[in-house]
Amino acid sequence: MRVKQLAKLLSITPDTVRFYTRIKVLQPNKSKDNGYRDYSEKDISRLKFILSARQLGFTVNDIQEILAQADKKKSPCPTVRRLFDQRLRETEQLFLETVQLRERMQLAVREWSEKPDQAPNGLMVCHLIDEFASTIHKD
């Protein structure tokens, strides 16, 4: 199966297939006749795994580590559990930071709706941001 066929089969772009080939997690055979890459059932299976892992939040480096262990016939399950726990902690931290940002934004919207517009004066670009930032940094 060629790049475009594989991409169409999995509803991804040909560039996605080429990327995973370039980083060597897919290793298609090259035709001696025309130099085209020919993807096997194993490549299709690996790419499906990669796409599933990406949807779960695993990084490309994570996936390379998991596949390297699988290629050595070692169970990658302990690594998957460890990495997934790490990704979950990172996601929870990002979620908390996003909630805090949302709260700051809501506060800014309320405060800014009551303030007049002002032209820049050389020391200040936008008083809304300057004043709001100074009140946030005091806390």
> What does the alpha-carbon distance between residue 88 and residue 106 come to, in Å, rounded to a whole number?
27
State whether CATH 1.10.3470.10 applies to domain 1-74. Answer: no
Element (H, E) at 29: strand 29-30
The candidate with the shortest Cα–Cα distance to 62, out of 78, 79, 45, 74, is: 79
What are 62-99's pLDDT values in tens digits?
999 999 999 999 999 999 999 999 999 999 999 999 99
Residue 33: the pLDDT is 82
> What does the alpha-carbon distance between residue 139 and residue 137 come to, in Å, rounded to a whole number?
5
> What does the alpha-carbon distance between residue 123 and residue 73 come to, in Å, rounded to a whole number?
64
Domain segments of the chain as ranges: 1-74, 75-139
What are 25-69's pLDDT values in tens digits?
999 998 878 888 999 999 999 999 999 999 999 999 999 999 999
> What does the alpha-carbon distance between residue 66 and residue 75 come to, in Å, rounded to a whole number?
9
And the tokens for 37? 């890459």
Residue 109: the pLDDT is 95
> What does the alpha-carbon distance between residue 103 and residue 121 come to, in Å, rounded to a whole number?
29
Say what the pTM is. 0.77
